[in-house]
Amino acid sequence: MATVIFDWDGTIAESGEGITRSVQYALDTVGIKVPDLSDLTHFIGPPLRVEFKKTYGMSDEDIEKAITAFRARYESEGIFECRLYPGIEDVIRDCVDRFGMSIAVASSKTDYQLHRLVKHFGLDSLFDVVRGATPDAERPGHGVPGKSNKAVVIEETLSHLEMKYGELIRIEDTYMIGDTAYDMEGAEMQGIHGVGVTYGYGSRNALEEYGAENIVNSVDELYSYLSSLT
């Protein structure tokens, strides 16, 4: 049985508006003005803490303040400023109904946010596992050298799939579908196949650099690729 783990932002959902508007609001609370939302698209997908530090060199205090502001704005209105990519729901449904796959979704979003979105779009009955991130301080093993937040989420997703299906989940038949380097890096660390999508928010160069075994350029190409696995 093939197993497919989907990323959410930039893979299933076109969620840029809600995230970038919420990041813009969060930055404003610490005195950083970014008027053009297109300058904030790199925040879509990766952990916020990493991007705030890498992009602006923010202090730990300002990072915490910005994350609190982001969550307040995002959870009140930004979370539903998104839409599914056209055709992706058919891909997900056919993975289950036609191809007989086990499927999951793994995201750097908080677990609470991810479950809200999956349920909102009526996809909750399709996924065997829905796994988001937990706040850093609450995550056992957080801060393991060389392991990103997304890599930990992918590891946890695999663990839950294995608890549910046991030996039916085989690493050699497991695929991570995502649009960022974090998805490909996490897949490689778990020894599963990394499949990059370029219709999201990451770049082809980054996907290739971090080990994507295959790259697709559209939802239609993704469907064709997944159907070839059966």
- Residue 26 pLDDT > 90, yes or no? yes
SS3 string of the chain? CCEEEECCECCCEECHHHHHHHHHHHHHHCCCCCCCHHHHHHHCCCCHHHHHHHHHCCCHHHHHHHHHHHHHHHHHCHHHCCEECCCHHHHHHHHHHCCCCEEEEEEEEEHHHHHHHHHHCCCCCCCCEEEEECCHHHCCCCCCCCCCHHHHHHHHHHHHHHHHHHHHCCHHHEEEEECCHHHHHHHHHHCCEEEEECCCCCCHHHHHHCCCCEEECCHHHHHHHHHCCC
* Catalytic residue positions, numbered: 7
Determine the pLDDT at residue 142: 47
pTM over 0.85: yes
Q: Which residue has the higher pLDDT, 95 or 147?
A: 95
Domains in the chain with CATH codes: 3-14+82-227 (3.40.50.1000), 16-80 (1.10.150.240)
Residues 154-200 have pLDDT tens digits of 999 999 999 999 999 999 999 999 999 999 999 999 999 999 999 99
- Per-residue confidence band for 149, with pLDDT thresholds at 50, 70 and 90: confident
Determine the pLDDT at residue 135: 64
